[in-house]
Amino acid sequence: MSHTPDIAHQILRVHTLPVHYLDVGSGERTVLLIHGGGSDHAQLSWRETIPALSAHYRVLSPDLPGYGRTPFVPTRRLLAYYSDLLLDWLEALKVQRLSVAGISMGGAVALGMVLQQPERFEKLVLVGSYGLSERVPYPVLGYLAVRLPGLHALVRWL
């Protein structure tokens, strides 16, 4: 990619939480990019995508609480909390209409946002997304299914 845009690192307080985010590009339309879980954060997930999109769109990509430069907030329902927080964050930024893409856990957050306020979103892109459940039932079975020969048949049967 020949053009590397200036990436503005911003902080916006939402419910007293300092939310770090990237704000790049100045197009009329806005795209929100939401990273996944694990050791992920906005710039890590989207470093190759942001330059391509920012030539035509305003691109926003926050670090969710506990990732990147945004501090962790303990809560029992993280996915719902993240969705609610980002909707309030968009309000504070005065972003009314946008498209959203999410990777893995970020896909579940994006889906939760769109289900709450479908009129706000033009497009939804999910990449290897979680569902809406706060926990995965029988997580050990998924782990074993990809590692033990023949166990995948048992998992399908369940």
pLDDT tens digits along 55-88: 999 999 999 999 999 999 888 788 999 999 999 9
Q: Which amino acid is at 101?
A: A
The whole-number pLDDT of residue 8 equals 85
Q: Which residues of the chain have pLDDT under 50?
A: 1-2, 155
The percent helix, strand, coil of the chain (3-state, each to 5) is 35, 25, 40
CA dihedral 78, 58, 5, 9 (to 10 degrees): -40
Provide the β-strand partners of residue 124.
100
Q: Write out the two tokens for 147.
A: 């590692």
**Closest Cα to residue 39, out of 113, 88, 103, 100?**
103
- Unique residue bearing structure tokens 């985010």: 21
Question: What global pTM score does this model have?
Answer: 0.82
Domains of the chain with bracketed CATH:
8-157 (3.40.50.1820)
